[in-house]
Amino acid sequence: MSNNKIGLNITSETAGLNAVILHTPGKEVENMTPANAHKALYSDILSLGIAVQEYRQLSGVLSKVADTYEVSDLLRSVLDNPIGKDWLIGEVCNTESAMDLAKELSDLPSDVLARYLIEGMPLKYSSLTAFLSGEKFALSPLYNFYFTRDSAVVIGGNAVICKMANKVRDRESIIMKAIYTYSGLFGCNVIEPGKDARYGSRVKIEGGDVLVARNDLLIIGNGLRTSTEGIDALIAGLSTSTSLSTFGRDGSFDVLVQQLPSSPESFIHLDMVFTLLGNGKCMVYKPLIMEPGIYRTIRMHVENGNVTEIVPEHNLLSALAKVGMELEPIICGGTENAWTQDREQWHSGANFFAFAPGKVIGYRRNEATIAELAKNGFEPVRAWDILDGVRSLDDMGDCVVTIEGSELPRGGGGGRCMTQPVSRA
């Protein structure tokens, strides 16, 4: 981890990556059982050893092109700051109705407390109620935290702290706010849509639904994890802070909203059906993004804090063309078989992370999608070949780096889901 303080700067989905926040899966994953998997928002349990090996391919490749920051390291920096430690403990205990734990947590050293906040704090059976509760943890593990995309998103120079749709993930956002505010490593303005009193508890917004397409353009999914109120609150927050960031031209910007189905669960975020690849290309799940359906696309223009235009569009690609971003779609699952499109979308076949224009990373298991990328000029290269020095990214043009993916996809996300960029070129 670099010790240099950095300023946030994200005005593109595909510009060269400078810095990114990651979280290598840890024992929190092993603390999940078949009995609590559904409560943890999983449909299956993971093998930690295999998941870590797969994740190291992602983090290893990204560390060759950018500074990578691990959540656990950043969290310990927060906890080494007495003000940050007090704030974080207070927020966690208040949010999780666990004020009785505050004193015990305060007495813990930073490394132990950081571990408990992520992996879970064991419950002490000091009462009959605790013994018969059926619970193992006083503070639940953060099973989903390796999907760092969801808890916060950087827009321009703003750190947007997301309001998670499921309470089991609230602590992830609290930790990210603490990191951006108290770790001492980031210079930024913090926006919290969930604090907008006009919308209250109706605000839901997660980073997987927010794509920063340009320095004056957002693409946002509206579905199970991001509500219309969440989008309105985000727009309001950005409108009052654009003077402090590199996002928004003279206080104006556009927002394209794509409605999403409520099922199946693989459609939870926009980036599961649409991601930008750079060099004028995008990855799409064709049935939702390109074919007629009941899920609408809406274009909004914001000027000096006011929505001055809001109109329906034919689809997302045509809406992007209207705001000056014409893209060539590449089909998730290939063009041959709708069943293959469905199968590969299910395992994050559309969820690619661009670490430079035309250089993306995703799961090797989605063979038809990788083949379709190859047809469109993206050279497939295995992550291990990059890590072992067999191939160099510096010598490659457009490419798709493939990582193994037998365990990580079980959590419901891919390359973009597992990254939280904080600075791009």
pLDDT at 43: 59
- What is the average per-residue pLDDT within 406-413? 89
Whether 244 has a pLDDT exceeding 60, the answer reads no
Task: Specify the pTM.
Answer: 0.95
Q: What is the pLDDT of residues 323-368, one digit of tens each?
A: 999 999 999 999 999 999 999 999 999 999 999 999 999 999 999 9
Within this chain, do residues 127 and 4 fall inside the same structural domain, yes or no?
A: yes
Please write the tens of the pLDDT for every residue from 46-65. 889 999 999 999 999 999 99
Regarding whether 168 and 25 lie in a shared domain, the answer is yes
Q: What is the reported pLDDT for 1?
A: 45
Give the residue from 191, 226, 251 where a domain finishes: 191
Residue 392 has pLDDT above 90, yes or no: yes
| Residue pLDDT, tens place only, 183-196 | 999 988 999 999 99
Do 311 and 208 sit in the same domain of this protein? yes
Output the pLDDT for position 3: 54
424 is a domain residue: no
| 39 and 126 part of one domain | yes
Averaged pLDDT for residues 202-230 = 97
Please indicate, yes or no, whether residues 146 and 11 belong to a single structural domain of this protein.
yes
Over the stretch 359-381, which tens digit does the pLDDT of each residue have?
Answer: 999 999 999 999 999 999 999 99
Quote the mean pLDDT of the chain. 93
Instruction: Say what the pLDDT of residue 248 is.
Output: 84
Whether 425 is covered by a domain: the verdict is no
Looking at the structure of the chain, the number of domains it has is: 3
Q: Is the pLDDT of residue 198 over 90?
A: yes
pLDDT reading at 417 higher than 70: yes
3-state secondary structure the chain: CCCCCEECEECCCCCCEEEEEECCCCHHHHCCCCCCCCCCCCCCCCCHHHHHHHHHHHHHHHHCCCEEEEHHHHHHHHHCCHHHHHHHHHHHHHHCCCHHHHHHHHCCCHHHHHHHHHHCEECCCCCHHHHHCCCCEEECCCCCCCCCCCCEEEEECEEEECECCCHHHHHHHHHHHHHHHHCCCEECEEECHHHCCCCHHHCCECHHHEEEEECCEEEEEECCCCCHHHHHHHHHHHHCCHHHCCCCECCEEEEEEEECCCCCHHHCCHHHCEEEEECCEEEECHHHHCCCCCCCEEEEEEECCEEEEEEEECCHHHHHHHCCCCCEEEECCCCCCHHHHHHHHHCCCCCCEEEECCEEEEECCCHHHHHHHHHCCCEEEEHHHHHCCCCCHHHCCCEEEEECCCCHHHHCCCCCCCCEEEEEC
* pLDDT at residue 40 tops 90: no
Residue 351, domain member (yes or no): yes
Residues 140 and 10 occupy one common structural domain: yes
User: Domain range spanning residue 414?
Assistant: 332-418
Judge whether residue 32 has pLDDT over 70: no
**2 lies in the same domain as 142:** yes
Residues 213 and 319 reside in one and the same domain? yes
At 110-168, the pLDDT tens digits run: 999 999 999 999 999 888 888 888 888 999 999 999 999 999 999 999 999 999 999 99
197 assigned to some structural domain: no
In whole angstroms, give the CA distance from residue 116 to residue 211.
32
Q: Which of 191, 211, 235 is the last residue of a domain?
A: 191
- Among 143, 171, 191, the domain-final residue is 191
34 and 92, same domain (yes or no): yes
Is 152 found in the same domain as 71?
yes
Can you name the residues that pair with 214 across neighbouring β-strands?
217
> Do residues 138 and 34 share a domain?
yes
Q: What is the mean pLDDT of residues 409-416?
A: 91
Residue 23, domain member (yes or no): yes
- 304 and 404 in a single domain? The answer is no
Q: Is the dihedral of CA 112, 117, 122, 127 positive or negative?
A: positive
User: What confidence score (pLDDT) does residue 292 get?
Assistant: 80
- 65-89 residue pLDDT tens: 999 999 999 999 999 999 999 999 9
**pLDDT value of position 130:** 81
pLDDT > 50? residue 2: no
pLDDT at 110: 97
